[in-house]
Every structure is written in C-alpha cells, then in structure tokens.
Amino acid sequence: MELEVLDITGKGTGKKVKLDTSIFGIEPNDHAIYLDVKQYLTHQRQGTHKTKERAEIQGSRRKIKRQKGTGTARFGDIKNPIFRGGGRTFGPRPKTYHIKLNKKVKELARKSALSYKVKNKQVMIVQDFNLEQPKTKDFTDIQKNLKVEDKKSVFVLNERNKNVYLSSRNLRNSKVVTISELNTYDIMNATALLFEESSLDVLQKKS
C-alpha cells in the first residue's frame, strides 16, 4: 500500500511512500492489543495509596471503660476502628501494578494497532518540518491544513523537537511523540496518526 507525502500546508509533495505490509498489513491480534494497553494503563498508577491502621494511629492505649458490667459492648482503646479518628480496617496498602509482557507480544500489539489504523484510513505521512519558535498558533495552523484539528491526533517525529513539542503541549486533543516513544495505547487512542517521513523510515527499518 502506498500513501502520498503531504507538506505542512496540506498539499501533496508528489512523493509516495510504500508501507511495509509486515507492519501495517498484518491480521490484527485483539488480545495482544488488550494486554499491551492494559500494561500501559496499569503502569500509570503509582500504587502509593495508604491509610493508617489501628497500630499506626497516634493516641492513648488506655482502656475506655471496664470490660463487664456496663450493659453495653466492650471497648478497647480510642484507636478502635469503630471510633471517629480510629484506625481503618483493611485499608489500602502500597503495592505495585507492574505487569510483565513479552517483547514479541508488545511488538505484535503495536503492529496490530498500526494495521487497524491503515485499514481505517487514519494514517498520514507528513514531510519533515520544524517550527522557528514555540507557538501554539503555528501548530494549530498545521492541524487545520492537514484537517485534523477536530480529531485526536498523534504526531510521530523521528527525534525530539522542543519547539514542536512546546507548541502542541496546551492542545487537548493533540500529542507529539518520537518514534521510540510510540506505544499501542497512543495508536489506538488516536483518530489521526501522522508520521514524519523520516520517522516512518526508522520504523520500517527497525521492524
């Protein structure tokens, strides 16, 4: 399959790029995509949630009242979970949400996601570009020219570009990543996936 390379004004450059079918034309594996997206989302969690239990509450350990003869339930100290300010019973504790996933499964998931995007005609190739200064308006102009201003767009660059990144940072539905940072979640979450010409070359040579 071939796609035309566009410039940042939205016009064709007359050049076409052939997409590698081993990356963009495989039979998608939905389960691999599910596992990779699940790993990405769980790894966003810090796992630092914690509440104080009875032994960690500061307070007197004096017995509030005698054990028997009061006609009411027995009570221990003021740190009892049934009292206001007492410890919490079975509260959350710090834990890790790390999930191990094999390299080949992640690679299959990414190729499957890319194949879905090509099938749905949501992939565009853009000529390498740069911005002279960080300016959000310049970046939104590029989006309008490419007709992706109303879509969730992911721009995939070959290498870090500070001006492009800063120009897009305030935009809610736009994300700029390098080819090494591209992951299955970002691909599936986007409705417009825009590759810089050089980033596509790197992707197809690596795979």
- The 3-state secondary structure of the chain reads CEEEEECCCCCEEEEEEECCHHHHCCCCCHHHHHHHHHHHHHCCCCCCCCCCCHHHCCCCCCCCCCCCCCCCCCCCCCCCCCCCCCCCCCCCCCCCCCCCCCHHHHHHHHHHHHHHHHHCCCEEEECCCCCCCCCHHHHHHHHHHHCCCCCCEEEEECCCCHHHHHHHCCCCCEEEEECCCCCHHHHHHCCEEEEEHHHHHHHHHHC
Domain range spanning residue 201? Answer: 2-40+101-206
* Domain contains 158: yes
Chain mean position to CA 4: 28
Q: How confident is the model at residue 49 (pLDDT cuts 50, 70, 90)?
A: very high
* Domain contains 18: yes
State yes or no: pLDDT of 142 exceeds 80: yes
* Domain contains 83: no
**pTM for this prediction:** 0.83
Number of domain units in the chain: 1
* Domain contains 79: no
Cα 169 from Cα 176, distance rounded (Å): 8
Instruction: Please report the pLDDT score of residue 207 as a whole number.
Output: 67
* Domain contains 59: no
pLDDT digits (tens, 9 = 90+) for 82-125: 899 999 999 999 999 999 999 999 999 999 999 999 999 999 99
* Residue whose C-alpha is closest to residue 165's, from 197, 191, 139: 139
* Domain contains 96: no
Residues above pLDDT 70, as percent of the chain: 100
The rounded mean pLDDT for the chain is 93
pLDDT digits (tens, 9 = 90+) for 161-190: 999 999 999 998 999 999 999 999 999 999
- The enclosing domain of 158 has a CATH number of 3.40.1370.10
* Domain contains 9: yes
Contact 185, 37 (CB under 8 A): yes
* Domain contains 85: no
Instruction: Please report the pLDDT score of residue 2 as a whole number.
Output: 87
pLDDT digits (tens, 9 = 90+) for 7-32: 999 888 888 999 999 999 999 999 99
Distances (CA, A) of 128 to 7, 161, 193: 8, 11, 15
Cα 89 from Cα 99, distance rounded (Å): 28
Instruction: Please report the pLDDT score of residue 99 as a whole number.
Output: 93
